[in-house]
Amino acid sequence: MERVEFYLDVVSPYSYLAFGRTQKMCEELGAELVLRPMLLGAVHKAVGLQPPVEVENKGRYQRRDIERWAKWYGLPMRFPDPFPFRTLKTMRAAMFCEERGKLEAFVDQAFALYWEEGGAPKGFEEADEDGPVREVARRIGADPDEVLHGAAIVEAKEALKNATSEAVEKGIFGAPTFFIGEEMFWGNDRLCFVEQALEKNGRW
């Protein structure tokens, strides 16, 4: 079975856009979807890349572009305010949930809460993520207190740090990024190439 590795951070709007389509594509083509959480801000810092939102003209265009893609895909969207929002605890919680077999469910509900329902963290303090993380945990049938505690333990912190470092070492500079074998594809708008690679059994 072919495998699609999907590197993401739930702060990434293009990862939100790509998530459902990637799930459907893998299901239809009989491929395994493997989610790879990382901290996007740390990736940008490591590779010396300025986030698009920090470039006024590009940030303004990007928001319109995201809204166009959402409409094209038929996805609901309530653009978060503020944006970008804090996701350090969220992504640590994702690592904790991965160990318990709940990563895909966690990511699915985090995307829904943060990008469709206006439930993204409203501030940049650590505590601002507590409510959203609790809500995501509740939705996936996990104990909210356990997930919050799990996001704070050393193991989850180290797991996210290591996952982010490994992503950079693989050549990743943004999200979403996909791998089929050793071949990398970056961006929601490269999903057609991911699909083509899958149809060719990964021979690109």
Burial of 28 (0-12, 13-18, 19+ CB in 10 A): exposed
Domains of the chain: 3-199 (3.40.30.10)
Phi then psi for 180, rounded to 5 degrees?
A: -120, 105
Picking from 158, 182, 177, the residue whose alpha carbon sits closest to that of residue 167 is: 177
Non-local CB neighbours of 50 within 8 Å, separated by 6+ positions: 44
Phi then psi for 35, rounded to 5 degrees?
A: -85, 135
Q: Is the pLDDT of residue 203 over 50?
A: no
| 8 A C-beta contact, residue 121 and residue 87 | yes
Q: Is the pLDDT of residue 154 over 60?
A: yes
Q: How confident is the model over 85-122, as pLDDT tens digits?
A: 999 999 999 999 999 999 999 999 999 999 999 999 99
